[in-house]
Chain A
Amino acid sequence: MSSTDDIRWVTQVALLGDKNAFDKLTCKYQSPIRRFFLNLTAGDGPLSDDLAQETFIKAYLNITAFKGISGFSTWLYRIAYNVYYDSVRAQKKYADINEWEIDSQHQTQNEFSAEKMDIYRALKLLRKEEQTAVLLFYMEDKTHNEIAKIMNCPLGTVKTYILKGKERLTVYLTNAGYGN
C-alpha cells in the first residue's frame, strides 16, 4: 500500500465522507500510532488506545485540512503529537501524584510490559520533547525534516533534542549492558 493509496482514500473521505476508505487508513496506520502512544505513555495500553482513537477521530473530522504537502503519515503523527501534549497538559493538575508509580501499575496490565520495561525506563530519562523526537527518529524512521513538521519546531531544535536524547540513552544502555 503506497502513498498513492493514501491520497486516493483521503480524497474519498474528504469528498464523499466515505467511512470504508477511512477504515482502510485506520487499519494501515493503527499499529504505528498506537505504538507511538504506547511508548510515550510508558506502556499504558488503555490510555494509548484512547489517545490513538482520539487521533483518528480528529483526523477524520479535519481531513479537508490535509493538503498533501507532507505525507499522510506525517500529518497523522502531527495530530497524534498534539493529542498527546493536550493530554499531558490536562494531567498537569494531577502532577503531585507520582506519575512513574501509576505508569508502572499500568505496565503490568498489558502484553508488552515484561520485555519492554527497559525501553520505558530508558525513555523516562528524557524530557517529553526528547522522547518524542527520539521515538520518531529511531523507532518510526522519520527524517529530521518530518519530525520538525510533526513537532512544529525548527530543524535545529529537533537535531538538538535527538542529540541530547541520544547522549542520555547511550549512557543508560551502556550501563545496562547493551552493546557489549
Chain B
Amino acid sequence: MPDMETNDKLLKDFFSENKKEIADNGFSRRVIQNLPETADRSWIVWVFAAIGMAISIYLGLTSGLLEHAFSLLFKSVPYYYLLAGITCFPLLGTAGYYLSQNKQIAL
C-alpha cells in the first residue's frame, strides 16, 4: 500500500494532467447579453464630481488661491494663446468624439 505522500502526488499528477484551460468561444459575450437590465447608476459619478468641484471652488475662493492663479495666468500667458485654446478645444473635442463613435460602430 503506497504511503499518503505517494497517493497525494499520484492524485496531483492525475488532476494536473487533466486540467485544461477552456477557450471562451463567445461564452462571456452570451453571459453579458443575458444579464438583466439594471438601473443606470452612472449619475453617482457626476454627483460626486459636482460635490468635489463645489468644495474646490469654495476653498479656492475663500483662500484667495483661485484669484491668485487667474491673475498669474492672465499676466503670464499671451491673450491670443488663451483665445486659440478656447476656440480649438470644442473643435478637437468634437473631432475626437466623432472618431471614437465611428470606431465603436465599426467594432
Mark A residues whose CB is within 8 Å of B: 15-17, 19, 22-23, 26-27, 30-31, 34-35, 38, 49, 52-53, 56-57, 60-61, 112, 115-116, 118-119, 122, 134-135, 138-139, 166-167, 169-170, 173-174, 178-179
Chain A proximity of B51: nearest CB distance (Å): 15
Chain B 10-64 residues near chain A, CB threshold 8 A: 10-16, 18-24, 27-28, 30-32, 34-36, 38-42, 44-45
Contact B11 A49 (CB under 8 A): no
Mark B residues whose CB is within 8 Å of A: 2, 6-8, 10-16, 18-24, 27-28, 30-32, 34-36, 38-42, 44-45
Contact A166 B8 (CB under 8 A): yes
Contact A31 B22 (CB under 8 A): yes
Contact A16 B31 (CB under 8 A): no
Contact B31 A53 (CB under 8 A): yes
Q: Which residues of A contact B10 (CB under 8 A)?
A: 170, 173-174, 178-179
| Total A-B Cβ pairs within 8 A | 92
User: Majority SS of interface residues in chain B?
Assistant: helix
Q: Which residues of A contact B30 (CB under 8 A)?
A: 53
Contact B7 A23 (CB under 8 A): no
Q: Which residues of B contact A60 (CB under 8 A)?
A: 35-36
**Known A-B contacts A34-B22, A35-B22; A138 and B12 likewise in contact (beta carbons under 8 Å):** yes
